[in-house]
Amino acid sequence: MVETFEPKTDYKVVGTRPIRHDGYDKVTGRAIYGGDMKLPGLIWGVLVRSPHAHANIKSINTSAAEASEGVMAIVTGADMPEAPSKLVDLGEGNVNFKWASNKLMAGDKVLYHGHPVAAIAAVDRHHAEEAARKVVVEYEVLPSVTNVTDAMSDDAPVILPDLVGDDLGEEITNTNIAEHMRHEFGDVEAAFAAAAHTIEREYNMEMVHQGYIEPHNATAVWDEEDRIKIWTSTQGSFNARTQVAGILQIDVSRVKVTPLEIGGGFGGKIPIYLEPVAALLAKKSGRPVKMVMERSAVFETTGPTPGGRMVIKLGADANGILTAATADIWFEAGAYPGALIGPAAMCIYAPYEIANTRIDGWDVVVNKPKTAPYRAPGSPQVAFAMESAVNELCEEAGWDSLKFRMDNSSREGTRRGDGVLFGKVGMDEVLEATKASAHWNSPLGDASAGKKRGRGIASGYWFNIGLKSAANLAVVSDGTVILTEGSTDIGGSRVAMAMHVAEVLGIDAHDVRPSVVDTESVGFTDVTGGSRTTYATGYACWIAANNLVDELKKRVAILWDINEDDVDFNDGAFSSKAEAEKTIRFKELAGKLGDLGGPATSTGSVDLESAGDGFGLHIADVEIDTATGKTDVIRYTVVQDVGTAIHPSYVDGQLQGGAVQGIGWALNEEYYMTDDGVMANSSYLDYRMPTFLDLPMIGTEIVEVPNPLHPYGVRGVGETPICPPIGALANAIQNAIGTRLYNTPMNAGSILEALK
Amino acid sequence: MTTNSPSKVHVTTTINGQQHELLVPPYMSLLDTLRELIGLTGTKEGCLDGNCGACTVSLDGRIVDSCLVLGAEVDGKNVDTVEGMATPEGLHPLQQAFLEEAALQCGICTPGILVAAKGLLDNEPSPSEGRIRHWLAGNLCRCTGYDKIVRAVQKASS
């Protein structure tokens, strides 16, 4: 039985905005990120990468590199331990160790441009780079495929000869299709036959990158007991430990991962790329080895999230009620399976109640880097298609698109596209808040000469995950509490964890000192991802704090020589049930613990199924220059149900940051591939993420419909906000220029085309 | 085949007000000179091609991407990094405003943005929102959407 909680409003700490504990180190430059790691005797490792997207490796000659000055070790695919083909669940996606190993060091074949073929460690980075240029690799270039349509054609080169695909439960071989899955409910054909209005459209999207500013990095050293120690920037140190052990084929107990500060991830630092290679170089050289990935390689070989092709069909009755929907989704997995079509299917219809639905999804292998989760993986793509189709249906039928969304909204008991029934959700509250918002009720204003303005809305959804977390507490004699936890802090989560504890103990958030610790200092904790950290690790902190209260009641019982069942705890004070005037506050008690049984500690751990569904709706105003095709976002508002906002500033930040990533995805970002499968824009200059100058202030409307599954009502927050922007901007652009765009990016060139 | 180590360049430079005498390899960037030779790792590497601004430092009062400057070039010059912003008396008003306004999430871009913003406020104490956005356009942040950073710079303005 899942425990549920009644909403409260009289919090002392929850809902306040204390300064984050790690903030001082981060504004003074003292915080140690992965790339800042130093160890005595440290040497540097670099990778040699394939210039081809698909080729057989005929030979690798490292003799000149070995003789190069300062070189201490060289590793090629032949040095990689043979990992079995076995799927392991890593929270936001599964990993097959054979493919995970092959991804970070090619065997006899390269599958994407930039695929590592060798690694070199030398006394410093410069000498390692010099030596890397001397590795001679002979390739036999093979035809490559870089989009789903080509990859599924009959004459497509088969990228993974040992891939056994799953076509609706049937095994298929000699294919690039890793999976074809389906969810179907109701009678779709009958519903379309009876529909008064239908629409069917195709949408195409290019891959995009998470774009974190900190490149991937890893430092590795073996100790005297033949155990490997890793320091890295990761979204999950325990997840990294699992991957390192699986790829190196050693027991997890022989891997210790210490997470250093992480410079962004957004899902892209759940997979690992360098750690096992650094470990092998460290083994061969007998030295600690550090690797920091170059930016072009970050684009070319890590992270991207799938592009693909989507066909959506919607049917509605004469009253504007959705009755039927179908979707066919083909996503690019990259060079190995795992395009996360499952989450896409879970999200596509989520904001709407639709009786008859079908979703077919295909996970297609192509000669591009293996995709990784990116903030609500799979959901922004399908939201673009769905929200565009919904608006186009409304335009054709003459319906108001906000009213249409209200008339068809999801609520408790609505069935999601994959069959799951919603619990308490806040979609109606989000729609009401949108309707009442200042932005929605403000005029669009007149465009300046040569420009056109438009407004668009779109909704978005992420299910949010729970999973496993652990936390430890220890009381210090001055009345502070040390909190150790395992969720790497990408965006201010330490302070949210401390607030969970402080609220229970009735102390200040700054009297709790949170630390993110290594894999040998706290219980297993899943990744910082899936919008789970504040929900699940916060929940574990709440349990630990309550366990600490129970422990302290025993000490109060010793102090007053009464039974521990006769000790009460309220608002930070222990009291005697028998003598109400007998009280002692937490801080005072902390100083007496030495004589009351010694140090007081506690733990909390959770394994949670769901984090409570998150719905949002965005309003975008654009101004388009009809001469250049350039789109300026002139006003933007995010409305989202967050459950309860523990630290409203960081909730706000998640909403704003997610929205802006979505704006970049919508308007400009893409993997621009040459015919040979080479990414032609693998620098920040050419990839062109949004800058300060490209954006307005991002308004937020935080809606709080407390989640009954969390003690304070938290829902996941971070991922939902990247889902609506692409659709909102497509709808705003249509509103401005009268023409609809069906492909991303909706850049100046495609807008000029549309204006012709 | 082995090559001989290139000879190093003798550099005397003032970093955060303190004089340093260094032997810098001729190929080494100012970024690596700070991080590897001096140990000032507050200046971050993001792209090594001058497009992200994470490595922004002040060179004789002008903000530069330290990945695009050679260590050998700073002989006789003043270099100021994020580590030089706070004093024993406390944080710089920009640092304090960044904390209060929650203007950082992961924090990797923060040192570069703080140095760049200080470069603006040192010359223009009360910049407009547009001026702040224009000045900081060379510093990428992927977490915040920039809103709270602009607010923090405004808060630190007089």
Q: Hey, what are A246's tokens?
A: 């699986």
Q: How far apart are CA A690 and CA A658, in angstroms?
A: 12
Q: How far apart are CA A31 and CA A399, in angstroms?
A: 53
Alpha helices in A561-613 (DSSP H): 586-590
Residue A86 clears pLDDT 90, i.e. is over it: no
Among positive and negative, which fits the CA dihedral A479, A483, A489, A495?
negative
Q: Hey, what are A88's tokens?
A: 């392991």
Residue A127 C-alpha, separation from nearest chain B C-alpha, in angstroms: 10
Q: Is A659 helix (H, G, I), strand (E, B) or coil?
A: helix
Per DSSP, A743 falls in state: B
Non-local (6+) Cβ contacts of A565 within 8 A are none
Q: Hey, what are A237's tokens?
A: 């140190």
Q: How far apart are CA A359 and CA A362, in angstroms?
A: 10
Amino acid (one-letter) located at A221: V
Chain B interface includes A648 (CB < 8 A): no
pTM attached to this predicted model:
0.97
Residue-level pLDDT at B6: 57
- Chain center to CA of A721: 12
Quick check: do B9-84 and B93-156 share a fold?
Answer: no
More confident residue, A87 or A725: A725
Q: Give residue-wise pLDDT tens across range A693-739.
A: 999 999 999 999 999 999 999 999 999 999 999 999 999 999 999 99
| Res. B1 pLDDT band, cuts 50 70 90 | very low
Residue B97 clears pLDDT 80, i.e. is over it: yes
Amino acid (one-letter) located at A649: S
Q: Residue A604: CA atoms inside 13 Å, Cβ hemisphere, count?
A: 26
Q: What is the mean pLDDT of residues A600-611?
A: 93
Alpha helices in A488-537 (DSSP H): 493-505
Average pLDDT over chain A, rounded to whole? 96
For residues A74 and A137, the answer to whether their CB atoms sit within 8 Å is: no
b vs e for A735-753, b when ≥16 Cβ sit within 10 Å of the residue's Cβ? bbbeebbbbbbbbbebbbe
Q: Give residue-wise pLDDT tens across range A629-657.
A: 999 999 999 999 999 999 999 999 999 99
Strands B18-24 and B9-15: antiparallel
- Could you tell me the residue ranges of all domains in chain B? 9-84, 93-156
Q: Give residue-wise pLDDT tens across range A548-565.
A: 999 999 999 999 999 999
Residue-level pLDDT at A90: 64
Q: How far apart are CA B8 and CA B72, in angstroms?
A: 9
Phi first, then psi, for residue A184 (nearest 5°) are -140, 130
CATH of B9-84, one of 3.10.20.30, 1.10.10.10, 3.40.50.300, 3.40.640.10: 3.10.20.30
Q: What is the mean pLDDT of residues B7-35?
A: 97
Q: Give residue-wise pLDDT tens across range A342-351.
A: 999 999 999 9
| Res. A1 pLDDT band, cuts 50 70 90 | low
Q: Hey, what are B81's tokens?
A: 């990094």
Q: How far apart are CA A450 and CA A439, in angstroms?
A: 24
Q: Give residue-wise pLDDT tens across range A222-259.
A: 999 999 999 999 999 999 999 999 999 999 999 999 99
Residue-level pLDDT at B2: 46
User: Reading across the β-sheet that carries A573-576, which strands appear in turn?
Assistant: A567-570, A573-576, A583-585
Chain A interface includes B47 (CB < 8 A): yes
Q: Which residue from B42, B44, B133 is facing A692, i.e. has the nearest CB?
A: B133
For residues B97 and B71, the answer to whether their CB atoms sit within 8 Å is: no
Paired strand residues for B14: B19, B78
| Stretch among A54-58, A161-165, A624-628 having the lowest mean pLDDT | A161-165
Q: Hey, what are A129's tokens?
A: 């780079």
Q: Which CATH class is domain A378-464+612-755?
A: alpha beta
Q: What residues 62-101 of chain B have any CB closer than 8 A to a CB of chain A?
A: 81-83, 85-86, 91, 95, 98-101
Q: Give residue-wise pLDDT tens across range B102-148.
A: 999 999 999 999 999 999 999 999 999 999 999 999 999 999 999 99
Q: Which residue from B54, B104, B148 is facing A26, i.e. has the nearest CB?
A: B104
Chain B interface includes A493 (CB < 8 A): no
Is the ipTM above a cut-off of 0.90?
Answer: yes
Residue ranges, CATH 3.30.365.10, chain A: 23-31+465-607, 378-464+612-755
b vs e for A5-33, b when ≥16 Cβ sit within 10 Å of the residue's Cβ? eeeeeeeebbbbbbbbbbbbebbbbebeb
Residue-level pLDDT at A91: 61
Residue-level pLDDT at A87: 77
| Res. A93 pLDDT band, cuts 50 70 90 | low
Residue A688 C-alpha, separation from nearest chain B C-alpha, in angstroms: 9
- Chain A positions in Cβ-Cβ contact with residue B142 (cut-off 8 Å): 210-213, 264, 266, 657, 661, 689
Percent of all residues in chain A with a pLDDT value above 90, rounded to a whole number = 96
Residue A211 clears pLDDT 50, i.e. is over it: yes
Q: Give residue-wise pLDDT tens across range A349-375.
A: 999 999 999 999 999 999 999 999 999
Non-local (6+) Cβ contacts of B96 within 8 A are B90, B156
Per DSSP, B33 falls in state: I
CATH of A23-31+465-607, one of 3.60.15.10, 3.40.80.10, 3.30.365.10, 3.30.70.890: 3.30.365.10
Alpha helices in A447-537 (DSSP H): 493-505
Residue B4 clears pLDDT 80, i.e. is over it: no
- Chain B positions in Cβ-Cβ contact with residue A19 (cut-off 8 Å): 99-100
Chain A interface includes B51 (CB < 8 A): yes
- A492 φ/ψ sector (left φ>0, alpha ψ -120 to 50, else beta): left
Non-local (6+) Cβ contacts of A303 within 8 A are A209, A210, A267, A268, A369, A371, A372, A374
Average pLDDT over chain B, rounded to whole? 96
Architecture of domain B93-156: Orthogonal Bundle (1.10)
- How many CB atoms neighbour CB B27 within 10 A? 13
Q: Is A605 helix (H, G, I), strand (E, B) or coil?
A: strand
